[in-house]
Structure formats: structure tokens, C-alpha cells
């Protein structure tokens, strides 16, 4: 299982929100590249980079940050936040993203998301399946759809999706633990899906449990910044 550190960007800086609330914002570092290099130095191979300005603006905004990290590290970057159009996708891939995550577009413009799957292949397109009270949350978690999680996943599996990042919004940023039972249920129902767990991961013990469940990856954000999980521990986990 890949431990995947997250860098969330607002105005070019590393921030974290609590439960996706833009009014509960904390800046941790002015330089995302510095943070990314530290991850790389500790043997981490992947990075989840989120353009929070883009999520709000409904278009890619912080592609220069993506380009800077991609060109100066060897990290495999999954980029998300505000990707709505073919042009957004072109900019993301041209800027160095290895994969992109689409959540809102998969709900509001499924024909666009499906065309991405067909053109770029399921290895490069990740389905964002963020969930709040059992329903898919979109638009940077500012909006809740009427779609329930399991039927949503099932419909996109049939369309060729192989990877999904599932965040339990109620857990995100609280450092109170992750939704282990939810991920167990997804793995049981959809064993062929490469599941990336996200939201609330607070301890190395949780990472071990997610690995035992069979998750493909686990995204860690605030726990690293708040030193609940050290980069040395993650380095040993990878080794």
C-alpha cells in the first residue's frame, strides 16, 4: 500500500482545511516545493496535490505549483481540484501530473469524465468519490449531490474506472481517526477497485489496518503537519 502525502494549495501555499471548510484554514508552509522535496527525501514516491483555489473557481488555478514540483522532484503526482474541461486536463498533464482526480465533473458532466477515461485510459484518471452522510459531496465539498456512494462506484466501475479516492468528509482534518469500516465495506463490495483511503488518518496503526484491508493507497495530510505521523515512520513503512 502506498502512503500518499497530500499538499493542498491556496494562493500557492500549503494549507489544510477542516472538513473542507474554507473558513477553517491553516497555512503550514509558504513553499510547497520544499514540502514535496522533504517527502521525496524520505522515500515517498507519490503525492496528492489539490488545487483548492481551482475547486472553488471551477477551473485549474495552481498549475504553476504543479509544474514546479513535477519538474524538480521525481514524485508521481495525482492532481485534483477544479478540473472540469478538456483544457483543464491538458494543462494538468502538460504541467507534469501523472494522474488526475475528477469528482465534481463525474457527477455534473459524466460524459466528459467518461471521455477522459477513454482517451487517457483508466491508469491516469482517478474517480473522486468523496462522501458526506452517505451521499457524494462535490465542488470542494461545498455541495452535496443526491447520489449514494455504492451505486456511484458501481456505475463507474462498469464504465472502466480502476482507481478511486474516497474521502469521508466528516473525518477530514479532525485527527480523530479514519473511516475504517467504510473502507472495509468498499473493499468487500468492489474487490477489483483500487481504493485510496483519505480523511482523518491519524496514526501508523491506522495505516497498518488500511494495508490489511487491502487499500491501494492512503492519503495523509494534517497528521504529517501536526507531527502525529513522522516522515521517518513513513519511510520505514515504505521500506
Given the residues 88, 130, 168, 172, select the one marked as catalytic. 130
CB neighbour list of residue 80: distance below 8 Å, 6 or more residues apart? 48, 49, 50, 51, 55, 100, 101, 102, 103, 126, 128, 165
**Known catalytic residue at 94:** no
Short-list 127, 125, 162, 132, CA closest to 146: 132
Quick: pLDDT tens for 177-234: 899 999 999 999 999 999 999 988 999 999 999 999 999 999 999 899 999 999 999 9
Confidence band for 170, pLDDT divided at 50, 70 and 90: confident
Confidence band for 138, pLDDT divided at 50, 70 and 90: confident
pLDDT for 45 beyond 70:
yes
Q: What is the pTM of this model?
A: 0.92
Mean pLDDT, range 71-99, rounded to an integer: 96
pLDDT for 2 beyond 70:
yes
**Known catalytic residue at 130:** yes
Mean pLDDT (the chain) is: 92
**pLDDT of res. 85:** 93
Given the residues 8, 53, 168, 172, select the one marked as catalytic. 8
Question: What structural domains does the chain harbor?
Answer: 2-238 (3.20.20.70)
Amino acid at each position: 500500500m502506498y502512503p500518499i502525502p497530500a499538499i493542498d494549495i491556496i494562493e500557492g501555499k500549503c494549507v489544510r482545511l477542516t472538513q473542507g471548510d474554507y473558513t477553517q484554514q491553516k497555512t503550514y508552509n509558504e513553499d510547497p516545493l520544499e514540502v514535496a522535496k522533504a517527502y521525496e527525501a524520505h522515500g515517498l514516491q507519490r503525492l496528492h496535490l489539490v488545487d483548492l483555489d481551482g475547486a472553488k473557481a471551477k477551473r485549474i488555478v495552481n498549475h504553476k505549483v504543479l509544474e514546479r514540483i513535477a519538474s524538480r522532484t521525481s514524485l508521481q503526482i495525482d492532481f485534483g481540484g477544479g478540473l472540469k474541461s478538456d483544457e483543464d486536463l491538458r494543462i494538468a498533464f502538460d504541467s507534469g501530473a501523472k494522474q488526475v482526480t475528477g469528482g465534481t465533473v463525474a457527477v455534473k458532466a459524466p460524459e466528459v469524465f467518461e471521455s477522459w477515461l477513454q482517451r487517457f485510459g483508466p491508469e491516469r484518471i482517478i474517480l473522486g468519490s468523496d462522501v458526506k452522510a452517505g451521499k457524494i459531496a462535490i465542488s470542494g465539498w461545498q455541495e452535496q449531490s443526491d447520489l449514494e456512494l455504492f451505486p456511484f462506484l458501481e456505475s463507474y466501475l462498469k464504465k472502466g474506472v480502476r482507481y478511486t479516492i474516497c474521502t469521508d468528509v466528516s473525518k477530514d482534518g479532525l485527527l480523530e481517526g479514519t473511516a475504517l469500516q467504510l473502507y472495509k465495506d468498499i473493499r468487500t463490495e468492489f474487490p477489483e477497485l483500487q481504493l485510496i483511503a483519505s480523511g482523518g488518518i491519524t496514526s501508523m496503526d491506522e495505516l497498518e489496518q488500511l494495508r490489511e484491508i487491502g487499500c491501494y493507497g492512503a492519503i495523509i495530510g494534517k497528521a504529517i503537519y501536526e507531527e502525529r505521523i513522522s516522515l521517518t515512520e513513513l519511510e520505514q513503512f515504505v521500506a
